[in-house]
Homo-oligomer: A and B are copies of this chain.
Amino acid sequence: MAKKRRPTMKDVAAHAGVSLSTVSYVVNDSGPVASDRRSRVLDAIRILNYTPNESARSLKRRSASTIGLILPELANQYFALVAEGIERAASDADVLVVLCVPQATGKSDDFYAQLLRSQRLDGVVYLSATGTLPSLILELSRSGAVVLVDEQMPGFELPAVVSDNRRGAREIAQHVIEAGHRQIALIGGPAPLWSADQRLAGYREALAAAGQDPDEVPFFGGDYRQRAGYEQAAKALEVAPADRPTALICANDLMAFGALEYCRASGIAVPSELSIVGFDDIPTASLVTPRLTTVRQPAHDLGFAAARLLFSLIDDEGEATPPMPFPTALMVRDSVAPPR
């Protein structure tokens, strides 16, 4: 059986009895065409069920109308929400979004740089992961347009969309302090990450403002994953009762969940024995018991803005001003209570 070939512009032109260029003008509405011929072409397109070949178009136009979205994992709802925001902005601009989960697939950043250079992708939105190497991001940004989300590289002015991590962190720490806590432990995010750094700075500011020496507050390093929350909570709590913190500030919700899990496993009542707070306000945060007090990040909006920024970067050849940091919001729920 003869393989059926998709119709091309040539077929349409022949069917309508016009030239190739005329068909192109009609399809793209990019040239003057007399209305009778236009409708002849339109008819031919409909009859043949013609759809322009996008590879050929991209080749000619030097643009793939496609961007990449690099993120550490999808199972973390925060990333999923950012992704949805990006998807929406992209679809408004008739741009496709390709999903890149380097950790799950074992692809290196260099692989994505190649994608950029090969013009398969016009740009990428980069959601920083644990252990992102600055050199890789730079490599990436040398190969094409890149926008960072909730990440920033001190020293290199890379375009980024961020929320006010520091302020959000300060506010929730204040909230914990105002509830009366004086023995607080911190579970931080992965050290090299800007967001982790900012949140830590915010916590310390609040602590210092309350007259505590931030350097004496127990700090445990995590990686934004649930398991780390569990493990670091264990470390934080397995101390002499007198030294035991009455509140645990976690740098994101997932780690707070891990801490919650640990508490459940070891019979620690939350919030009566221990208060716990998170960061991000992922949808699940209001589902766990007790409902988690946390800081809302406008994940969807961040994604949307990041995509918009990327588009203007692509269109204007590298010129574009990032938006102001997005405000965060303290979400007071049930996981904080005064210490006993």
Contact = CB atoms under 8 A, between A and B. Distances in A.
A84 B88 contact: no
A105 interface: yes
B81 A74 contact: yes
A103 to B, nearest CB: 10
Nearest to A65: B120
A19 interface: no
Interface string A69-111: 1000111010011011001101110001111110011110000
A64 interface: yes
A34 interface: no
B75 A283 contact: yes
A101 B87 contact: yes
Contacts of A83: 74, 99
Most buried by B among A55, A64, A104, A105: A55
A153 B84 CA distance: 28
How big is the A interface, by class?
35 or more
A253 B98 CA distance: 28
A91 to B, nearest CB: 3
Nearest to A56: B59
A261 to B, nearest CB: 7
24 contacts: A3-B317, A51-B114, A51-B118, A53-B59, A54-B115, A55-B56, A55-B59, A55-B64, A74-B74, A74-B80, A74-B84, A74-B87, A75-B80, A87-B100, A87-B101, A88-B104, A90-B105, A91-B107, A96-B98, A97-B98, A98-B99, A260-B287, A261-B287, A288-B289
Interface of A: 3, 6, 49, 51-56, 58-59, 64, 66, 69, 73-75, 77, 80-81, 83-84, 87-88, 90-92, 96-101, 104-107, 114-115, 117-120, 257, 260-261, 264, 283-284, 287-289, 317
